[in-house]
Structure 1
Amino acid sequence: MVRLISAFATGATYLFLDEPLDGLDTIQRKRALGFILKQATSTQVSILIASHQLQELESIADRILVLKQGSLVKDFYLERLRSTAIKVQFVFVTKEIPSIIRENATLLSVEGRVLTYLFEELPQELEENIKETKPVLFERLPVSIEDIIRSQSTKDPDYQMMNQEEC
């Protein structure tokens, strides 16, 4: 907390915080997040936070940059993403995954027969075409930052094949 207070006390226009919540207990994490949010709204400061604690940042972040092996692989605004991205769980009668899903979504996880995919967009026409494949289960789920990060790492074709073989 002392480091956070010191960082904001500098009056800098930009703050780069590396894992600012590490080492804090649950109560202190909430206080630190509250402090960061209060400072961000009451001062003219832009804050860049590097963190692996995605759930905690989801409530305060408005823009997410995803870095992989030193390169920027995704740059998005959460509100825009939340208004378009859709996470869907599927179960199909057979192990065959319809090509319309494989071509339009990213596989996030496989748990037994339950497949979870992320669609960056799911227009009504595409959804209707998917439903024509007669999935046993078609359930929309809330999208999280973690889903977006996982969707970037799972775009690796080897990951996709490995998980589709598990179905």
Structure 2
Amino acid sequence: MEYDFTLKYQLAADDCDLDQIVERLAEAGCDDATIGVGQPGRVALVFAREGATALQALLSALEDVKQAVPSARLVEAAPDFVGLTDVADVAGVSRQNMRKLMLSHAAEFPIPVHEGNPSVWHLSDVLTWLNTRGGYDIKPDVLEIARSAKQVNLAKEARELEPRINQQLEYLLA
């Protein structure tokens, strides 16, 4: 099955030749991605990658990028962090409808990753919640890639914690 996702990276200071990076990415197997280099020091790859599972497709892309640009640091795997408008687009409803659902089902609606203006959720959490309610056309491949992107982002963040904090959190969150 083909999965659509985006990987965003921060480039090392010595990786400044973008043409060379694009070439290396293509040679490493990222020829199924559209590569964006608009923001200085960053690169984004929009993949349409085949895989037995979404996680397998995502991990193979991560591996290919690491091979091509070893110093690149993953910023985010997407689709994951979204606002209500993004969720509404995926679910095929209006933003107003999504906001109404969130407000009228505040006790059951997924907790945002960031609450503020705007609030941000994990896409997979909201899509899973919508699936349990029924009546929404949530494509299984979109939900699967959103779950996989969330796992990659959570693992990336967890790696950056000190081991002592990891142990303490493991105990407190169990």
Q: TM-score, normalised by structure 1?
A: 0.29
Give the structure with the higher percent helix. Answer: 2
Structure of greater relative contact order (alpha carbons < 8 Å, 6+ residues apart) = 2
Give the structure with the higher percent strand. Answer: 1
Q: TM-score, normalised by structure 2?
A: 0.28
